[in-house]
A = this chain, B = another copy of it.
Amino acid sequence: MKQLKLSNQLCFPIYALSRLVTSHYLPLLNELDLTYPQYLVMLLLWEHQTLSVKALGKELRLDSGTLTPLLKRLESKKMIKRVRSKEDERIVNIHLTEQGSQLKIQAADIPNQIQCSMGFTAEEFKTLKSVIGGVLRRHAEE
């Protein structure tokens, strides 16, 4: 039953790599008082200023069950504001606060530090990005 050996599976390396990458973010994000998923939300907000919960969920492939409490924690840390839309009261829009906006400056060097600490070669980075990107695109529902 060679198929069922852990070492022959692709799933496990993917799962282990994902946790390894997150663990490398941890000390850097601790300084910003962010968790890794919270950092992903902030990345999107630094880029777009304002996004609905639904839009964040679509980008990050996370549902409201994950996002609602995460966003409440970001709000309690004064990094974002949750504002229910006047035009459509089902929608909650997420805005950066001044403090959340400023955090971008402190975060500016994180990508470099991760690149360094993970020790990806340029070749590995390119290959992983392109192969994984292709797989994800095929499975994008929309």
Contact = CB atoms under 8 A, between A and B. Distances in A.
Interface of chain A, helix or strand or loop or mixed?
Answer: helix
A61 interface: yes
Interface stretch (A41-49, A67-75, A91-99): A41-49
Interface in A122-142: 124-125, 127-129, 131-136, 138-139
Interface string A15-53: 111111110010000000000100010011011000000
Contact of A40 (B6, B110, B111, B127): B6
A1 interface: yes
Contacts of A110: 4
Contacts of A124: 131, 134-135
Interface of A: 1, 3-6, 8-22, 25, 36, 40, 43-44, 46-47, 59-61, 104, 107-108, 110-112, 114, 118-120, 124-125, 127-129, 131-136, 138-139
25 contacts: A1-B108, A3-B108, A4-B104, A4-B111, A6-B40, A6-B47, A8-B111, A9-B43, A9-B111, A10-B129, A11-B21, A12-B40, A13-B128, A13-B129, A14-B21, A14-B128, A14-B132, A15-B21, A16-B60, A16-B136, A118-B139, A119-B139, A120-B135, A124-B135, A127-B127
